[in-house]
C-alpha cells in the first residue's frame, strides 16, 4: 500500500510495527463511513438513520485526523497520539454497533460496520506500540 511505501522512505528509516496497516484502515474507514452516511441520506427511512449518519460522519472525521497524525512521524509524541487512537477506537466501536442495528436492511451499513471493526483492531495494535514507548 501507499502508506507503507511512504513510511519506508522516511529519512529516519523504516518504521516498525503495524503503523501502515492502521493508516490504510483509517482512510478506508473514513471512506466507508462517508459513503454510508451518503447512502443513509438516500434511504426512505431517513428519521431512523439520523444517529447512524451522525456517527458515520463523526467517525470519518476522527479517522481522517488520526490517519493524518499517524502519518507525521518526524516529531511524533506518545500522549497526543494515544488520545487520538483512544478516541478513534471508541468512535469506531460505537459506529460499528449503530451500523449493525441497520445491517439487515441496509447493506451499506453492513460494509461500514466491517470497516469500523477493522479500523478499531488496527488502531488497537498501534496503541499498544505507542503505550510501550
- Encode burial over 21-45: b for 16+ CB neighbours within 10 A, e otherwise: bbbbbbbbbbebbbbbbebbeebee
Q: Exposed, middle or buried by CB within 10 Å (0-12, 13-18, 19+), for 121?
A: middle
Distance in angstroms (rounded) separating the CA atoms of residues 117 and 119: 5
Residue 59 near residue 29 (C-beta atoms within 8 A) = yes
Domains in the chain (CATH in brackets) are: 18-132 (1.20.1270.360)
C-alpha cell belonging to residue 71 = 502519518
Predicted pLDDT of residue 80: 86
Q: What is the pLDDT of residue 27?
A: 97
Q: Which is more confident, 129 or 26?
A: 26
pLDDT at 5: 66
pTM of the complete model: 0.89
| Predicted confidence (pLDDT) per residue in 48-99, tens digit | 999 999 999 999 999 999 999 988 876 666 668 899 999 999 999 999 999 9
pLDDT in tens, 11-27: 565 555 688 899 999 99
Instruction: Give dist(CA 45, CA 77) in Å, integer.
Output: 44
Q: Who wins on pLDDT, 42 or 80?
A: 42
The per-type count for the chain, helices as H runs and strands as E runs, is 5, 0
Residue-by-residue DSSP string for 73-97: -TT--HHHHHHHHHHHHHHHHHHHH
The mean pLDDT of 100-110, rounded to a whole number, is: 97
Mean per-residue pLDDT for 94-113?
97
pLDDT number for residue 18: 82
Cell triple for 106: 441496509
Amino acid at each position: 500500500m501507499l502508506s507503507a511505501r511512504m513510511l519506508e522512505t522516511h529519512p529516519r528509516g523504516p518504521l516498525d510495527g503495524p503503523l501502515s496497516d492502521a493508516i490504510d484502515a483509517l482512510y478506508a474507514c473514513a471512506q466507508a463511513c462517508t459513503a454510508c452516511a451518503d447512502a443513509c441520506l438516500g434511504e426512505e427511512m431517513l428519521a431512523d438513520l439520523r444517529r447512524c449518519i451522525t456517527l458515520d460522519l463523526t467517525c470519518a472525521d476522527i479517522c481522517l485526523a488520526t490517519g493524518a497524525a499517524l502519518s507525521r512521524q518526524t516529531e511524533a509524541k506518545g500522549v497526543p497520539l494515544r488520545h487520538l487512537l483512544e478516541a478513534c477506537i471508541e468512535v469506531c466501536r460505537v459506529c460499528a454497533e449503530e451500523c449493525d442495528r441497520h445491517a439487515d436492511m441496509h447493506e451499506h451499513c453492513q460494509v461500514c460496520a466491517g470497516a469500523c471493526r477493522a479500523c478499531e483492531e488496527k488502531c488497537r495494535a498501534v496503541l499498544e506500540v505507542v503505550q510501550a514507548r
